[in-house]
Structure 1
Amino acid sequence: MFASRTSQKQVFIDNIEPIKRYNHEAHAYLHKLHPKHWSKHVFGTRAKTNCVVNNVAESFNAMILEARGLPIISMMEEIRKKHIVRIQERYTVMDRYDGIICPKIRDKLE
Structure 2
Amino acid sequence: MKQDRPAEQYLLVETQSGGTAERFLADAAALAGSGERVRLFLAADGVALGIRGANAKLPQFLGAGGQTWVDDFSLAHRALHAAPLVPGVRTTGISDLADWLLEPGTRVVWH
Into which bin does the TM-score normalised by the smaller protein fall?
A: under 0.3
Higher relative contact order (CA 8 A, sep 6+): 2
Q: TM-score, normalised by structure 2?
A: 0.24
More helix by share: 1
TM-score using structure 1 length: 0.25
